[in-house]
Amino acid sequence: MFRKATFILLITGLLTVTFSCNGYQKTLKSSNNELKYETAIDLYEAGNFTKALQFFDILRAIHRGTPKGELLTYYTANCYFQLKDYNIASYYYKQYTQLYPRGEHVKEAAFTSAYCNYLDSPRSTLDQTSTFTALKELQDYIDQYPNDSRVKEATRLMDDLRDKLEIKDYDIARMYYRMESYQAAIRSFENLMEDYPDTDYREEIMYYITKAYYEYAEKSIYTKKKIRYEKTIESYNNLKNQYPESEYLKEVESISANARKHI
């Protein structure tokens, strides 16, 4: 008896699913756009974002420029956001702000577009296109809505992104040093201090610059050696003045002493 009841429930469930799928496909293919719209909203509100998107993709063009079109574009962006496809979500949030600049959700869409690029920003060793896009959009948001409650969060996100770019630039400069491309290393380290004057790596950067100038001088032709040894001594003195207790001083002091002997 129990097995029979279980079998009946199973068959009933399968029939219900089959009917639902058939009904869904039938609605999707029908010419009744109002029914499609109502079905799409129901699917979205039920959290069935993948199926809702199939209806939204059909309906957005039909209702473009109307209140329904506005909601469909906003919901499309939200669907992709919920599905963690942040690149496409950003595209539709941005499209919403362009098509409906006076829309109800325009501020939220502008912020979330930038936030999507923030979430899409990869680790520092990878290409940072999304990072630069996020920084630009967050700054645009702050400029456009300086008194909005999200400005504080936008500023925090920008700080996070800048920290990532700083790490990337620092790693690139050290890579040049390890490759013995001392001129490129010096230029990269000096640019790093200029771009990030409050960097936490300042002491390490000054240490690397001193060593790089010395190695650069050692490998230079005779006529270039003197000025590069002088740069070594200058860099050492800068490190010593700014960080008199630096753990690197003992090492670079001997480098500076050797540089003096060559002048």
Are both 213 and 242 inside the same structural domain? yes
36, 158: one domain: yes
3-state helix, strand, coil split of the chain in percent (to 5) is: 80, 0, 20
Cβ within 8 Å of residue 130, ≥6 positions away = 87, 117, 118, 120, 121, 122
The position carrying tokens 């003096």 is 260
Same domain, 159 and 195: no
Question: Is 148 in a helix, a strand, or coil?
Answer: coil
Give the C-alpha separation, 134 to 164, whole Å: 12
Cβ neighbours of residue 60 under 8 Å, at least 6 residues apart?
A: 69, 72, 73, 76
pLDDT tens profile 118-173: 999 999 999 999 999 999 999 999 999 999 999 999 999 999 999 999 999 999 99
Residue 113: pLDDT over 50: yes
In a domain, 170, yes or no: no
Is the pTM above the cut of 0.85?
no
pLDDT in tens, 45-87: 999 999 999 999 999 999 999 999 999 999 999 999 999 999 9
Domain endpoint, select from 141, 165, 189:
165
Same domain, yes or no: 35 and 161? yes
Cα dist from 220 to 197, 226, 228, 240, whole Å: 30, 10, 8, 25
**Domain hosting residue 58, numbered range:** 29-165
Residue pair 66/98 in contact (Cβ under 8 Å)? The answer is: no
Q: Is 141 helix (H, G, I), strand (E, B) or coil?
A: helix
